[in-house]
Amino acid sequence: MERQRKVKSRKKKQFPMKIAAAVTGMLVLTCAAAMGIYIKKGQSYQTIFFPNTIINGMDVSEKTVEEVKSLIASGIDGYTLTLKERGGHTETITKEEIALHSVFDGSLEKLLEAQDPMKWWSHRTEVSNYDIQTMIAYEEALLQQKMDSLQCFAEDFVQAPTDAYRSDYITGEGYKIIPETPGNRLVKATVATAITEAIQDLKEEISLEQLDAYIKPGIIAADPGLQTVVSELNKQVGVTVKYQFGDRIETLSGETTHHWMSVNADQTIALDKDQVAAYVKSLASKYNTAYQKKNLKTSYGKTVVISGGFYGFKINQGAEADELYRIIRAGESQTREPIYSQKGASHGANDYGDTYVEINLTAQHLFFYKNGKLIQESDFVSGNLAKKHDTPPGAYALTYKERNATLKGENYATPVSYWMPFNGNIGMHDAGWRSSFGGSIYKTGGSHGCVNLPPAAAKTIFENIEKGIPVLCYYLEGTEAKPTPAPTPPPTTAAPTPLPTTAAPTTAASIPETTAAPSTTAKPPEGPGQVPATSPAPPATSPAPPETS
């Protein structure tokens, strides 16, 4: 038989009603009390400002209007504004000087009335910031008067700023940048505004430097344009050009070239080409020897002055001026020779050196020296005096040499084996058609201006001479040769070919022949071509003719 289990039912006990009512009552009372406290606290904010209330930078939390006014008034008492100026100088503006005082126009009251007292709780973390401009006042005329009297505005105290600038040329240094000076001149309007705002905020100090109230220089040392100009100028004036003229040196440096330079409005550097050209011209005037008189210690022991001809150094002024201009612009210091349109053999006392042909037109005799040694001497026949075909005296350079040339002139064309022109169409050549040379043949039976030589002599000279070697032609009184009878030509000798020369340019009159003449083959003990130490100094040279190239 199945056992049936008795189950007892359990009933939940109910919370006593009296306890529940008591708890509820307590909660209601607590809320009511809290609400009362909140409302009471809120009512206090009808007369005081909320927490975290800032007015004109002052914390007025929990303060009444009167307390705020008192706080403002206390801030004005003893108020002084200090101006910190450049150079450590300070000045002050006091309350009394500008009649600073409090002004209350109801703005504080309006701010307080605008508060909703029941919202005070949210202002425990919320900041309210207000600016009221009418709380302090001053006499504007007094403030203006005070500002006008400030030393920082006085003309005898103020120094205007100066710009950085390029110095003048400094010997041995070139150009430098002179730094700017800041001065202490102020922008008065900027300072006045800052002072007004500081007083309104009862700020006790302002720094004019931090205010950025000082007038700045227009150009500072770090200015890129100024630095570029100075750098470029120094590059160009830093150029040193040493011109070599033998053992003599002419040095051109910034001491001279800085006078040739200027700075354009666009800050580019100008180099005066005319001054460059003038300098090159001065070198030419000093060192050119072409077209100038030359002293020659002749093979006869006497010294002659050769004033004609073109031999010598001649600077190509146009080309050299262009190159010098380029060198300075590029900043390329160097040692150089100028560009020559023609050169001599030596920069020494005699520009013709010790290799030259010496032609004595009076004696009708020549000497050819090479490196100071006599290579050939010979009689010759020069231009016909009677027909005014004189061979011109002067210093020339061999133009070129040519084998087996045909010399052409009016009514003749004559072949020669050795042709050596030195003055236009005037030159030395063999004259095999002549049976005799030297003496006075040239006076009536001379050439058209050329120097006619015996073939053997012409051959020796031709084989040893080169283009550019000097040919020095002169007359020397007292060296005339005595006439000698001409040898009878062999029966088989053909009739001579007409003289192969061209008309010479107009020359000086011939030297009259004298009877007493030294031997033309005798060589003096002194070396050829050297002026004796006791000889007079060479005469002043005439300036070179104008250069066209």
Q: What is the pLDDT of residues 490-504, one digit of tens each?
A: 433 333 333 333 333
What does the pLDDT average to over 513-534?
A: 32
Residue 272 above 80 pLDDT?
Answer: yes
What are the pLDDT digits (tens) for 311-365?
999 999 999 999 999 999 999 999 999 999 999 999 988 999 999 999 999 999 9
Residue 528 above 60 pLDDT?
Answer: no
- Asked if 186 and 211 touch (Cβ cutoff 8 Å), the reply is no
Taking the C-alpha atoms of residue 142 and residue 88, their distance in angstroms, rounded to an integer, is 26
Question: How far from chain centre, in Å, is Cα 378?
Answer: 60
**Given the structure tokens 């009184």, which residue do they identify?**
477
The per-residue DSSP string of 197-230 comes to HHHHTT--EEETTTTT-BPPPSS-TT-HHHHHHH
Which band of pLDDT confidence, cut at 50, 70 and 90, is reported for residue 377?
A: very high
In b/e form, how buried is each residue of 127-146, taking b as 16+ CB within 10 angstroms? ebeeebeebbbbeeeebeeb
Q: Torsion angle, CA of 442/443/444/450, rounded to 10 degrees?
A: 40
Q: How buried is 68 (Cβ within 10 angstroms: 0-12 exposed, 13-18 middle, 19+ buried)? A: buried
The answer to which of 63-67, 249-253, 382-386 has the lowest mean pLDDT is 63-67
Q: Which run of H or E residues covers position 256?
A: helix 254-257
Taking the C-alpha atoms of residue 187 and residue 341, their distance in angstroms, rounded to an integer, is 67
Taking the C-alpha atoms of residue 411 and residue 414, their distance in angstroms, rounded to an integer, is 10
Q: How buried is 288 (Cβ within 10 angstroms: 0-12 exposed, 13-18 middle, 19+ buried)? A: buried
What does the pLDDT average to over 432-441?
A: 96
